[in-house]
Amino acid sequence: MHKRLSILGSTGSIGTQALDVARLNGFTVRALTANSRIDVLEEQIREFQPALAAVVEERAAADLRVRVADTGTKILSGMDGVIECARCEGVDTVLNAIVGMAGLLPTLAAIEAGREIALANKETLVAGGRLVMEAARAKGVRILPVDSEHSAIFQCLQGAPAGQRDALKRIILTASGGPFFGWTKEQLRDVTVEQALRHPNWSMGAKITIDSATMMNKGLELIEAVWLFSMPPERVDIVVHRESVVHSLIEFADNSVLAQLGVPDMRIPIQYALTYPARHPSPVGQLSLAQFGTLHFAAPDEEAFPLIGVCRRAISRGGVFPAAANAANEEANRLFREGKLRFLEIGELVEAAMEQAPDRPVYTLADIREAGERARDFVRQNVMG
Ligand code: NDP
Ligand code: MG
């Protein structure tokens, strides 16, 4: 199966692994985007020769335009440029690997253009789940999950024929527990950025690595699962599983449970989203359960890691509460990485910002943006004060 791709956020952790998958499968890459890292993007342009590439930062885009003047790639700039790449002609699938709510408009643009979506950018669904899912339904566009847990659930669901979806009782997301599994609130008080950036099982971008340390990542994934699989939040459970071998599970009416397993390597879920329903060979190592010997499972400690509960409350209330929680977290996560906020303050500020959000059950894009801006302001003001 041959695919023509547009990869948004191609210079990041998921983006570069997606290009690995594209290279191994001989897929065509028609468009690439970055925020500012033009060194990496230049190499990618020379290798994959896309028709379009976009850089959000104008000056970096101008610089890149000069550097790749000898290639056939047209260089665009700003968010408009990224959106043009999301709509690029002659593309089958748009893989969105942008980090943060910045990925929302490109996702909507790609859906509008009728492109299939491979979605890593979970913040898109957290902030604007209803808009994204409604647009996809209206256009008949498929959204294929790239996040490993959601890919696992999607893979398990292949074992539930369409007419049997009512028999799906529960989704069980696994969580590695991050670098601070088993730590008490007291111990978490003084953790450093460096400690929080040391994830036990996955090598990922900085933002999601901090989200894993606070377990906000699992809260975001809970909301992502609600939208992707039309499940009420009370039927999405979370279990800590230290080895990241069981990527998630589904439970049926008869209490039979299906799981998807594999060594932790994002190239499996990325490739599945791009080849679905086919399975292609992959460079990822084989799973040897005997080598693992034991797999561990535990209930999450929601007192030490309150953000799972904050996200559950946000999606249960609906409206713009999840968008506010997500935006507050993007801001708090960044401030923590810049050394301006302590680890436990991330949870406190995200919770307080979420509680402050307006109760607006039916929302527009403008409502999401406004709730996001208010939540970011709230976090900034509380850090300054
Ligand atoms: P990275 O930080 O490694 O990469 C992010 C990409 O987005 C880069 O290409 C970056 O460009 C670009 N980017 C950053 N800010 C903006 C912006 N404001 N507008 C447009 N583009 C921007 O992140 P990851 O690859 O780790 O994560 C990407 C997404 O995938 C996230 O939503 C994350 O939650 C999700 N995800 C990641 C996993 C992983 O293993 N990494 C696993 C599951 C989900 P530049 O390089 O120029 O800064
Ligand atoms: Mg995940």
Give the distance (Å) from ligand 2 centre to CA of residue 272.
15
**For residue 147, how far is its CA from the centre of ligand 2 (angstroms)?**
5
Ligand 1 atom nearest 121 alpha carbon: 32
Q: Which ligand neighbours the alpha carbon of 125 most closely?
A: 1
Q: Measured at the alpha carbon of residue 259, what is the angle toward residues 284 and 100, in degrees to the nearest 5?
A: 65
Q: In this predicted model, what pLDDT tens digit does every residue of 68-83 receive, in sequence order? A: 999 999 999 999 999 9
Q: 214, 197, 215: which is closest to 206 by C-alpha? A: 197
Ligand 1 center to 257 CA (angstroms) = 32
Q: How far is the CA of 266 from the centre of ligand 2 (A)?
A: 9
Lowest mean pLDDT among 157-161, 232-236, 354-358: 157-161
Q: Which of 66, 98, 63 is nearest to 79 (CA)?
A: 98
pLDDT of residue 362: 85
42 lines ligand 1 (CB under 6 A): no
385 pLDDT higher than 60: no
Give 329: exposed, middle or buried? Use CB within 10 Å, 0-12, 13-18, 19+: buried
Q: For 259-310, how does the pLDDT look when each residue is reduced to its tens digit (9 = 90+)?
A: 999 999 999 999 999 999 999 999 999 999 999 999 999 999 999 999 999 9
Whether 55 lines ligand 1, by a CB cut-off of 6 Å, is no
Nearest bound ligand to CA 10? Answer: 1
Tell me the C-alpha distance between 143 and 137, whole Å. 10
**Number of the ligand closest to the Cα of 35:** 1
Average pLDDT, stretch 374-378?
98
146-188 pLDDT per residue, tens: 999 999 999 999 988 888 888 999 999 999 999 999 999 999 9
Ligand 1, residues 10, 13, 121, 151: which to mutate, most atoms within 8 A of Cβ?
13
* Residue 56 beta carbon below 6 angstroms from any ligand 1 atom: yes
